[in-house]
């Protein structure tokens, strides 16, 4: 059932006021059981009381009227701290609202706090945060996934009905899967990045988390759209989608490789059988030649762009500063002490692939491989309406398990990065719990601007699975 609809009904029937609802969620959030929040909006109750008046007057305007939302701490909310889970911005107060925040506020949403994440969105487990790692609500010894760990947790644990996160290489989809909720990475350009602290400019997208597909759709509908301030954003086409069932869905062959945990494979087969039985879809395996190379391509492109995007954190205009009488020493000490290890690793790698002498061999080559990846996807869409694959090759892993070897952490992303490289939309939907009670989710990928197809199909599937 849509949380948004449920709550707004309560307001319409004057059964509850926004301040009642906010108190409910805010108190749960403030306990911060899973360390999903970095900071809270202490004014939210006051803001809710302003909306109470409107309810009493019968003026319930806005698609998110009085709905609490949590925001990943790399999206600027004016007046609140925006830390990016980094020491470098630990005391930075956002001087403006991100475009998506302006849109949420216009629709009456109430922001309860900023959620935990991997520092500068670089990570897959939320263990690279300067404010402590976060825990998976299904098993506190395990990671919630990253980098939008806090966002996924807050929705999963009922700390907020909705959340906004960001996805550069799987950072919405992976934690959504690990926490058993929906997470959408929109088509690149569908949602404005203005006010999203940049990691990799050509890959980043802001997207919604929710517990049901209808809420994902409502939230996406609000945040999408061209923004004059973001030249990489574009108009969203308004055509209606009328899917004809059974859909043709391609299953990535590598979903069944030995790199994927057994339970995930069997669940995938179960899912396929279910959909075939209900005549929702017909499945066929497809292969991607570029699959094994996607992670390498991703890390070259993402780290290169990140190394440039993070150059502004130098202690001059804002942020952490390690004072020194010599400017160059000040830069060095500030950045060395301010950034976490993983961030520094990526800055170093990214700088290397852009250096003269290596630019053609690494960065340009990776961008060529990226073209090939997109072409492969588009070719498959000539045959299929949707593509299906796991989100993660493993179930939510234990904290600390992948910290010793960063590359093992990178490999968590094998099923997610190629989608960002192509700019295509993809969505995580929760399927079932594993034998040990851990969430198993899967991923649909579609052509550019086909989010409506996700919503229609998943509504159908939601009904089928959950009745």
Per-residue contact track with other proteins, 55 to 94, x per CB under 8 A?
-------------------xxx-x---x-x----x--xx-
Catalytic: 171?
Answer: yes
CA distance 450 to 98: 25
C-alpha to C-alpha distance for 333 and 208, rounded to whole angstroms: 37
193 sits near other proteins (criterion: CB under 8 A): yes
Range in contact with other proteins (rule: CB under 8 A) among 65-73, 143-151, 225-233, 265-273: 225-233
Q: What are phi and psi of 410, to 5 degrees?
A: -60, -35
- Identify the residue among 262, 325, 382, 435 touching other proteins (CB under 8 A): 325
CA distance 369 to 384: 22
CB of 298 to other proteins, least distance (A): 11
Q: Which is nearer to other proteins, 49 or 229 (CB)?
A: 229
User: Smaller CB distance to other proteins: residue 244 or 326?
Assistant: 326
Four-residue CA torsion sign, 35, 37, 39, 40: negative
Per CB under 8 A, the list member of 10, 45, 60, 330 interacting with other proteins is 330
Report which of 180, 177, 134, 178 is spatially closest to residue 158, judged by C-alpha positions.
180
Selected from 145, 423, 439, 441, the binder of other proteins by CB under 8 A is 423
What is the β-pairing status of strands 205-210 and 162-167? antiparallel
* Catalytic option among 171, 255, 412, 446: 171
Binding-residue pattern over the window 389 to 408 for other proteins, x denoting contact by CB under 8 A: -----------------xx-
Please give the span between the terminal C-alpha atoms of the chain, in angstroms, as a whole number.
11
191 binds other proteins (CB under 8 A): no
C-alpha–C-alpha distance, residues 410 and 345, integer Å: 12
Is residue 1 close enough to count as binding other proteins by CB under 8 A?
Answer: no
Pairing relationship of beta strands 182-185 and 110-115 according to DSSP bridges: unpaired
Q: Which of 53, 132, 253, 327 binds other proteins (CB under 8 A)?
A: 327
Opening angle at CA 200, ends 219 and 88, nearest 5: 95
**345 near other proteins, rule: CB under 8 A:** yes
Is 420 near other proteins (CB under 8 A)? Answer: no
The enclosing H or E element of 438 equals: none
By CB under 8 A, the residues from 105 to 164 that bind other proteins are: none
Based on the shown chain and the rule CB under 8 A, indicate whether residue 231 belongs to the binding site for other proteins.
Answer: yes
Query: To which residue do tokens 């998506």 refer?
Result: 100
Q: Return the ∠ at Cα 438 (arms to 26 and 68), rounded to 5°.
A: 20
User: 286 to 315, contacts with other proteins by CB under 8 A?
Assistant: 289-290, 292-293, 295-297, 299-300, 304-305, 307-308, 310-315
DSSP 246-313: SEEEEEEGGGGSTTS-HHHHHHHHHHHHHHHHTTSEEEEEE--TTGGGHHHHHHHHHHHHHHHHGGG-
- Name the token pair of 295: 């992670």
Catalytic site residue 147? yes
The stretch among 172-180, 265-273, 327-335, 457-465 that binds other proteins (CB under 8 A) is: 327-335
Please report whether residue 196 would count as binding other proteins according to CB under 8 A: yes
CA–CA gap between residue 113 and residue 125 (Å, rounded): 20
Cα–Cα distance between 320 and 215 in angstroms, integer?
38
Single out the segment in contact with other proteins by CB under 8 A; choices: 19-27, 150-158, 195-203, 270-278: 195-203
Name which of 368 and 398 has its Cβ closer to other proteins: 368
Residues in region 7-36 near other proteins by CB under 8 A: none
Site string for other proteins, 434-463 (x = CB under 8 A): --------------x---------------
CA angle 338, 316, 306 (to 5 degrees): 55
Q: Torsion-angle region of residue 165: left (phi > 0), alpha (psi -120 to 50) or beta?
A: beta
User: Which of residues 136 and 205 has its CB atom nearest to other proteins in the complex?
Assistant: 205
Q: Where in 349-388 is the site for other proteins (CB under 8 A)?
A: 349, 351-356, 359, 362-372, 374
Q: Nearer Cβ to other proteins, position 65 or 410?
A: 410
How far is the C-alpha of 179 from the C-alpha of 354, rounded, in Å? Answer: 36
Q: Which of 19, 36, 72, 166 is catalytic?
A: 72
CB of 357 to other proteins, least distance (A): 9
Question: Residues binding other proteins: what is the number (CB under 8 A)?
Answer: 95
Token pair listed for 12:
């319409």
Closest distance to other proteins from the beta carbon of 205 (Å): 12
Active site residues: 72, 147, 171
């Amino acid at each position: 059932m849509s949380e948004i609809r449920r709550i707004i009904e309560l307001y319409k029937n004057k059964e509850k006021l926004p301040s009642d609802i906010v108190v409910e969620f805010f108190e749960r959030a403030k306990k911060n059981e899973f360390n999903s929040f970095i900071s809270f909006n202490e004014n939210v109750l006051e803001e809710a009381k302003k909306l109470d008046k409107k309810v009493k007057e019968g003026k319930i305007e806005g698609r998110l009227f009085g709905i609490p939302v949590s925001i990943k701490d790399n999206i600027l909310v004016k007046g609140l701290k925006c830390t990016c889970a980094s020491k470098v911005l630990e005391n930075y107060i956002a001087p403006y609202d991100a475009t998506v925040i302006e849109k949420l506020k216009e629709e009456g949403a109430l922001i309860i706090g900023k959620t935990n994440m991997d520092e500068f969105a670089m990570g897959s487990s939320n263990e690279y945060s300067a404010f402590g790692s976060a825990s998976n609500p299904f098993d506190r010894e395990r990671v919630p996934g990253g980098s939008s760990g806090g966002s996924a947790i807050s929705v999963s644990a009922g700390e907020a009905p909705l959340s906004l996160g960001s996805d550069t290489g799987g950072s919405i989809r992976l934690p959504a899967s690990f926490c058993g909720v929906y997470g959408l990475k929109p088509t690149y350009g569908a949602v404005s990045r203005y006010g999203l602290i940049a990691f990799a400019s050509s890959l980043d997208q802001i997207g919604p988390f929710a517990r049901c597909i209808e809420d994902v759709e409502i939230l996406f509908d609000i945040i999408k759209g061209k923004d004059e301030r973001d030249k990489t954003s574009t108009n969203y086409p308004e055509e209606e989608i009328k899917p004809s069932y059974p859909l043709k869905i391609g299953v990535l062959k590598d979903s069944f490789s030995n790199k994927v945990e057994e339970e995930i494979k069997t669940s995938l087969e179960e899912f396929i059988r279910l959909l075939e039985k209900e005549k929702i879809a017909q499945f066929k395996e497809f292969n991607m030649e570029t699959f094994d190379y996607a992670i390498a391509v991703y890390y070259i492109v993402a780290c290169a762009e990140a190394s440039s995007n993070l150059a502004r954190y130098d202690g001059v205009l804002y942020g952490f500063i390690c004072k020194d009488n010599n400017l160059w020493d000040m830069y060095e000490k500030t950045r060395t002490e301010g950034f976490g290890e993983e961030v520094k690793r990526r800055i170093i790698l990214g700088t290397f692939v852009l250096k003269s002498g290596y630019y053609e061999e690494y960065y340009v080559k990776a961008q060529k491989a990226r073209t090939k990846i997109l072409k492969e996807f588009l070719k498959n869409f000539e045959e299929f309406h949707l593509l299906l694959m796991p989100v993660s090759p493993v179930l939510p892993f234990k904290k600390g398990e992948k910290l010793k070897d960063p590359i093992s952490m990178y490999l968590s992303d094998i099923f997610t990065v190629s989608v960002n490289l192509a700019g295509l939309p993809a969505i995580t939907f929760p399927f079932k719990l594993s034998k040990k009670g851990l969430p198993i989710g899967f991923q649909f990928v579609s052509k550019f601007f086909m989010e409506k197809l996700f919503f229609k199909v998943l509504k159908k599937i939601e009904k089928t699975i959950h009745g």
